[in-house]
Amino acid sequence: MQFYKEKLLSPGQLKRLNEHKYSCTSVSLMDPFLQPWWNWLVSKVPLWLAPNAITVLGLAVNILTTLILVWYSPDAKTEAPRWACLLCALGLFVYQSLDAIDGKQARRTGTQSPLGELFDHGCDSISTVFVALSACIAVQLGYYPTWMFFQCFCAMTLFYCAHWQTYVSGTLRFGKVDVTEAQFTIMGIHIISGIFGPSIWMTELPYINTEVKVFPLWAAVGIAVLLAQSSVSVILVGGVGKNGSTVAGTSVLSPIIPFSFVVVPAFIIYRKSAENVYENHPALYILAFGMVAAKVTNRLVVAHMTKNEMQYLDTALIGPAMLFLNQYFNFFIKEYYVLWLCLIWVTLDLLRYCSQVCLEICDHLKIMLFRIPTGGHRIGTSQTSTITEKNVHMVVEQEPLLDEEYHHGSDTSLNL
C-alpha cells in the first residue's frame, strides 16, 4: 500500500538502484583493531533484529545524548555537567559500534541490498551534525562563534565531499585517518570534559599564553585540509563517466551548487543578523542548517546510487529562506522564532523525503524496512534460504575476508 502521491524516484532510477553495487576502499588505522570487538558484538545480536533497526537505534542514542548536552548548554558557553559529557561519549561509542555492525548483521542474515547502504548513509548524514555540535559544546566553543561555525560546517562539508567524490568516481574512499579516528578523538574530548570539566579547555598554558582548546582546533583544521585535498583530487580527475564526468554523466563540479545554497546563506544570515541570532542560539542555528545539509547530502547519495542528475534547488531551502526574508524586511518577526520555524520545517522535510524514498524502494523490491522475513530471507535478488546457526558462524568466521569491502556498516546491506 502506498502512502504517498507523487513519486520521488522514477522507474529508471529504481532499476539503476537495484543494479547498484557498493564499492569502497579503506585504509583506516583503527578499523583492524576494532574488528574483533565488532565481530563479537554482532555475534550477540539476535537473528530476528533487522540491520536497519540497529542503525536507527544507534542514531537515536547519539541524538538523545547530544540533545541532553544541548539542553544544559544551548549557547555552547555554559559549562555542561560532567556526567552529560561522559554520557555523550558513551552515546557516540554506542552509535559507532552499532553503525559498524549493521552491515555485518545484514550479511549474517543474508539480507543485503542497496537500500541498506542508502539508509546507513542517510543516518550518518544526520549524525554528523550532532557529533560536531556536541564536540563544540564540550569545549565551550560558543565563546568563539566563528570557530564554532567553521568546525560544524567543516564536518558537514567533509561528509558531503566524501559522497561527492563517490558520485564522481563510483567508489567511497576512506583514508588512514578518517571517520573512525575522528569519532574516537571526539569521544576523548568528551571524556576529558567529563573528568576535568569543560572549563579545562579554557585553561591558559604558561609561557605560550594559549588556551588548551587551540590544539584540538588546529589539529581538526589540519585533518580537514588533508581530507579536503584528497577529495578534491578525486573529484577533479577521477570521473568514471563519459569524458571524465560523474557516474550520471554530469559535470564533476555540479554538486557544489546545491551545497553552496546551504553554506553561503548560513554564513550571510549569521553575519547580517541584527539580533545576533547565531551567537545567542548557536546550537539551534547549527541544527537548523545541519538538517538542510543532511537533506542535500541524502539527495546526493540517491543521485549516485541511481546514477541520476542532482537537482540544484530543494524544498528544505524554504527554511533558510524564512530567515533571509525576515532579515530583508527588517526583522518583521523575532529571529529566534523564525529560527525555530526553520528547524521544524527542515526536519519535517528531511523525514518526509527519507521515509518516502525508503517506502518507494521497499515497494519496488517488495520488502519491509525493519523486518527480516520469517522462515527465510533474500540473498541478492533471487535466492532464498533458511537462517541457521551454521550459516551465522560461517559468516562471522569469514568476516576478515570481507573487511576490504566494508566500512562502518555501509556495505550493500538491505538492513531490512
Residues 6+ apart with CB under 8 A from 259: 157, 160, 293, 296, 297
Catalytic, out of 20, 121, 304, 408: 121
Please say if 407 is a catalytic residue: no
CB crowding 31-54: b at 16 or more within 10 Å, else e: beebbeebbebbeebeeeebbbbb
* Cβ atoms 386, 375 nearer than 8 A: yes
Helix (H) or strand (E) holding 127: helix 114-138
Residues 6+ apart with CB under 8 A from 329: none
Note the helical H segments in 139-274. 145-169, 179-196, 214-237, 256-272
CA angle 88, 220, 31 (to 5 degrees): 65
Q: Are strands 204-205 and 210-211 parallel, antiparallel or unpaired?
A: antiparallel
Q: Per the structure block, which three cell numbers stand in for 380? A: 541478492
Would you please indicate which residues are annotated as catalytic (active-site) residues?
121
